[in-house]
Amino acid sequence: MMQIHEFGASEADIVLIQPVDVRELPGMEQELAVIRENIKEDFRMIALCVEDWNCDLSPWPAPPVFGSEGFSGGAERTLAEVLKLCKDKEKRCYLGGYSLAGLFALWAGCQSDAFAGIAAASPSVWYPGFDAYLKTHEFHPGSVYLSLGDREEKTRNPVMGTVGARIRETHELLKERGIRCTLEWNPGGHFRDAELRTAKAFFRVIEMQREIPK
């Protein structure tokens, strides 16, 4: 069973859902403070603590791209847990996260119409086969925020080095489908300011969704 950590106002209409690794929990207060400062509206944050990052957030099996640990494709089980948190249709649920959690959020946007928006900070769009998947599946949320560090594509790893091209393609594809989509570049590599980048992803996608005509 995945552990759930809740923050903010439990009855708020805005619900933010973020898959996290246990090592990310200490940084949640900083992230929450930045979101709170920018949206100036009550929200509920649900941090879903996954047990195996490479398994629980990967949409299908893939070989290792760094180190020796591959990806075993357990995202469907994680999505089932996420959807249990979105049963109240009166709430606006936003799914997001950093790195592989950002990729999971984008994939989940094709799997379910439960989310108002997707907040994908430095998402692992280099993931093998994801570009083809996105091209052949409908995307349901109305707003998507994408970001990447400006040095993330400058790597010797041939798979991860495709991340810049893939995120540009993702941005263009979603815009062509009429989805409100922003791509923002942050200074630095993948491991810089993860909490701040994730916070910005959430408050920006909330702002974007507000701008959609009723």
Report the number of distinct structural domains present in the chain. Answer: 1
Q: What is the pLDDT of residue 191?
A: 84
Contact present, 14 and 95 (Cβ < 8 Å)? no
Q: Which of 136, 19, 137 is nearest to 85 (CA)?
A: 19
d(CA 75, CA 54): 9
**Domain assignment of residue 182, given as a range:** 3-210
Note the pLDDT tens digit of each residue in 17-74.
999 999 999 989 999 999 999 998 999 999 999 999 999 999 999 999 887 789 999 9
Q: And the tokens for 117?
A: 């928006």
The predicted model scores a pTM of: 0.96
Q: What is the pLDDT of residue 2?
A: 84
d(CA 169, CA 148): 13
Residues of the chain with pLDDT under 70: 1, 213-214
Q: What is the pLDDT of residue 211?
A: 75
Q: What is the pLDDT of residue 86?
A: 95
Give the side-chain half-sphere CA count within 13 A for 124: 22
CATH code of 120's domain: 3.40.50.1820
d(CA 199, CA 214): 25
d(CA 144, CA 105): 10
Q: What is the pLDDT of residue 214?
A: 58
